[in-house]
Structure 1
């Protein structure tokens, strides 16, 4: 372990060159050594083993080759799978399986969150991003959620063009592809695009309980400021300490696709004066930060409110309910310093 060093995330605003974006689309540290064999399905939930076996078969199947295959749709039967969509609640191992697919498949392949792919398109432009991704044998998309009509149209088109180019696609989400966008924008106005997106996938449902909360239903109680001071003084490795409100303000100046790089080599975060987030845009940026922290196994310690109070009741009942519940699950795991 490194000698103790305290930094502030509010001092960090990393920049990423466009040509680094594709190279950075790999599984995060938390999933760099996972495999289908290391996935442990719940015996009480047979859909978990089914999902693992279906996905393993999908990524190890060899595509048909040749001009006739291209002219006549690859010689595949009508309804053949172009991609696999893992649908299930948070904490059932979807990202583990997604990363396992990336590790098991021939390269080149990419692995990234939905926001990382939309950021790639923003940085390179649609045509260039499509050209780059069309060179991949597999594209893995985690946390696939459509939060606005522009993303719906853009990602629907990209998925169609990638599958037409013979690229295999695996995606995970908490929402069935035909229901993406519901409760967030006027999804009925974009039914054609949403249905075209859904048509790219066969859906594999994964049932089960959140493994992170087996025996740990709530995060620990908040600490005092003096206790945070003591933790900072005695910590090993790199610790980032920030006032919670200032950190939330800072997140608005950093694109969510760069939150992982902002965390860098941080081992733990200390947040002073945690409070309930009242603004939905701020809350969604915080969710993206927690996702990247979870990827890296960053421990959390805080004063102020307990971490399960960061979202309002209206948020937990609204269109982004599943995002917020997943975030609370991950906050609990990180604050409890579980090994999962």
Structure 2
């Protein structure tokens, strides 16, 4: 099917983290992609090649010098790009390629993290007595960047759903170009959400300001990276820690930032997150007062969880063990891939105390989740 172009989460300031670049004299993205294929850095994929002209269109338009003059009107910004498709198809890799070659101020950020920052900045604006808290926050973002490059646009929170329309309209009116990846077609964003009719104008804005392109590829590169690879490491020693580090570096592809999940007014921090991959220790997730809602939010947000240092479980850490069971259930039901290090094999993790019988299901799930073919594909 031919891709179709459619027209029609604290008082801190928004940080400039991510990709800010001003590189000059770059080759076209099409040439750079071909160079990486030739060097063996990536494998050629016709679906990826097909969308490269869209990225190049935006890059080239933004690279044109702006003619100055009292009566000259700035040219309209190029249409952005909404690139959607299954997990592991190379959307993030293409986004990285694009952002790295921009010579205008750009920010590369996970959409969920960006919206958390917007809410935090709005809260501070209200604390400062600003009645319309969204306008100055959006205007500040627009002054800082020319391009916003989002990873994994998804709307699951009603507080996000109620402000994104106006937020993006302000950004677009200010000339900000938005490029985003998503696992969902725009029409499926916030699907079945509360008061969704109030959200629908945002979908129209996206279609008007961005080219909508489906990346249709049979290849799941993230899954392939784990294909045949060990994902459960035991015992916990320097060798297993090194293997976990290698998996993290391979999957994340760069420096990470914390991921803050907002669940029923609380904040849950995941220490490291990048490219859909989260990394945390057992005590980060199970040693704190977290529950099913927190784990469900995590499982819905990340594609792979790297969980380190799972201890033996029993009477001495019964509450942590219960949380671990709940965490694994949430990951399993969501189809989230799990890479972990543990004190022993799944069947030997919990061998005494109340809860041993119930843990048999968890051990079985841990075994099943080690299969290279297991996990979600979209």
TM (norm. structure 2) is 0.56
Does the CA contact (< 8 Å) of 1:146 and 1:152 recur in 2?
Answer: yes
1:311 equivalent in structure 2: 330
Question: What is the Cα deviation at residue 24 of structure 1?
Answer: 1.9
- The reply to whether residue 210 of structure 1 matches residue 237 of structure 2 is no
- The reply to whether residue 18 of structure 1 matches residue 12 of structure 2 is yes
1:179 equivalent in structure 2: 188
- For 1:255 and 1:173, locate their aligned partners in 2 and report how far apart those are by CA, in whole Å: 24
- Name the SS for the 1:259 alignment partner: strand
Which consecutive unaligned segments of at least 5 residues does structure 2 have?
A: 1-9, 21-28, 123-133, 246-260, 313-323, 342-368, 373-378
Does the CA contact (< 8 Å) of 2:81 and 2:178 recur in 1?
Answer: yes
Q: Deviations over 1:162-211 (max 9, x none)?
A: 12111111011001112201144453453233323333211121122211
**1:82–1:333 CA distance, 2 compared to 1 (3 A):** farther
**1:161–1:234 CA distance, 2 compared to 1 (3 A):** closer
Match of 1:106 among 100, 103, 106: 103
- Name the SS for the 1:89 alignment partner: coil
1:50 equivalent in structure 2: 50
- For 1:97 and 1:312, locate their aligned partners in 2 and report how far apart those are by CA, in whole Å: 27
**1:262–1:181 CA distance, 2 compared to 1 (3 A):** closer
Question: What is the Cα deviation at residue 232 of structure 1?
Answer: 5.4
- Name the SS for the 2:104 alignment partner: coil
- For 2:198 and 2:185, locate their aligned partners in 1 and report how far apart those are by CA, in whole Å: 18
1:6 equivalent in structure 2: none
- For 1:236 and 1:221, locate their aligned partners in 2 and report how far apart those are by CA, in whole Å: 13
CA RMSD, 1 decimal: 4.6
- Name the SS for the 2:199 alignment partner: helix
1:129 equivalent in structure 2: 137
Question: Rg larger in 1 or in 2?
Answer: 2
Q: Deviations over 1:190-246 (max 9, x none)?
A: 32333233332111211222112238458747556xx12xx159856999xxxxxxx
**1:75–1:85 CA distance, 2 compared to 1 (3 A):** closer
Aligned length: 270
Point out which structure has higher relative CO (alpha carbons under 8 A, 6+ apart): 1
**1:25–1:131 CA distance, 2 compared to 1 (3 A):** farther
